Structure formats: C-alpha cells, structure tokens
Amino acid sequence: MTDEANKGQFIQVSSIRVRYSETDKMGIVYNSNYFVWFEIARTEYCRHFGKSYRGWEAKGYFLPVVESYCNFKYPAGYDDTVALHCRAPVDQIKPHSILFEYRLCLDTGSVIADGWTKHAFVNSEGKIYRKGNEFYDWLLREAGRLNSC
C-alpha cells in the first residue's frame, strides 16, 4: 500500500471560479487566497459528511488554525476554475488537534497547490480538549471510513 493510500483519499468537495479581485496586477491569484480556499475546502469536507462547522460551534467545539503551509506549484489566473480537494488523514487526528490536507487543481488537472492546516480542538473559552470529544470521535470515524476504501 502506498503512503498516499495509507493517508486516505482526497475528496473533491467544491470548485470555485477565480474572481478578478483575487488576482494581483499580473493577473495571477494572490497567495493569501489559497488559505481562504483551504478554509472553504475544510468546511465543505465536514459538510460532505453531514456536519457543518456552525453545528459544531453551537455545541462548543472550535478549531483555530495553529499552523499552516502551502506549496505553490502552478499559477492560477482570473476566470480559471479551481477544484478544491481535502482529506483528514487518520494518523493526523489527535484528541487535541487535527491536520487537514488540501490539493487545489485547475480543471485541466494541473495541481496548482498542496498544503495543510493544523487546528487545535478548543472549547468556547479557548481551552484545549486534552482527551477525546464528540467532534474528534466523529472525524476519526469518518476519516477511517475513507481509509478503508
């Protein structure tokens, strides 16, 4: 089994069309927009499995970003269509944190960026959950189902 298979499959959770306001003077997507797209992919990933971020926050679970990374591979420009892919590798889901991985592709199939964001599991007062919680259990179960495909 490959390393990629061990981590679970990327799921295309959404696609966007690059807006003019997301580009710089050269017509290339400005770098900070990739992190906005990561957020869209992450929230749609949860929604894909029937749970929204809003619902988890209403229950007192929050996921602030504590680390992030993006490897820019190929430029995207105005009016390009970008497919947003996300996964949550089971080995990166801990009782206190989770790492989501992202792959952004043009509709031509070219990968324009890979990256990840690491999030802490915190309550409404900002205290880290040190043991398992309902959100952790759910993510572990859903990511585990993907790994068994």
Question: Can you give the residue ranges of every domain in the chain?
Answer: 3-147
* pLDDT tens per residue across all 149 residues of the chain: 334 544 668 989 999 999 999 999 999 999 999 999 999 999 999 898 888 888 889 999 999 999 999 999 999 999 999 999 999 888 898 989 999 999 999 998 899 999 999 999 999 999 999 887 888 888 888 877 665 43
Q: β-pairing, 97-106 with 111-120?
A: antiparallel
Decide if 113 contacts 58 (C-beta within 8 A). no
> CB-based contacts of 93: which residues, under 8 Å, 6+ apart?
99, 136, 139, 140, 143
Q: What is the CA radius of gyration of the chain?
A: 16
| pTM of this structure | 0.88
CATH architecture of 3-147: Roll (3.10)
Q: Encoding tokens for residue 124?
A: 């409404």
Coil, helix or strand for 99? strand
